[in-house]
Amino acid sequence: MNVNDRAKLFVKSQEITMKTFERSINASNGYMNNITRSISLEKIALIVQKYPLLNIEWLLTGKGDMLKSLIDINEPESQYVNEDLTTRASITAKALVKIDASVTHLLNEVSEIKEQLTKKGK
């Protein structure tokens, strides 16, 4: 997986379009599709500024998690200003809704499997 692939994963996870992402970092339409190995330092700086939850090490190397942990984001020496709190809270809320839906789905599957096993045991 290369930088382009990881960027696409991030964009999808944020429920935005690649076009929106590219605009937000002052990149031309199709910029991310043309990247195979790296991104310019100017674009990296804009990505870090616009998407504080994104783990830039993951984007560039694939190491670590896609998103920074809440501990990393909320450190006292954090570079993020209060206006980013609303954005981060919104992203976190969306992620929690997705996790909740996944857990509910898995619990339903477990119940169905238990029911099937009970029927086979009779």
Tens of pLDDT along 12-50?
999 999 999 999 999 988 888 888 666 788 888 999 999
Q: 23 and 37: one domain?
A: yes
Q: Give the single-character DSSP code of 74.
A: T
Closest CA to 3 of 46, 50, 75, 63: 63
Q: 70 and 86: one domain?
A: no
Q: What is the domain count for the chain?
A: 2
Contact 46, 32 (CB under 8 A): no
pLDDT band for position 76 (cuts 50, 70, 90)? very low
Q: 85 and 72: one domain?
A: no
Give the pair of three-digit tokens for residue 96: 């929690």
Sequence-ordered alpha helix ranges (H) in the chain? 3-13, 18-24, 41-50, 56-61, 70-73, 83-121
Q: 61 and 97: one domain?
A: no
pTM: 0.56
pLDDT tens digits for 82-111? 556 667 677 777 777 777 777 787 888 888
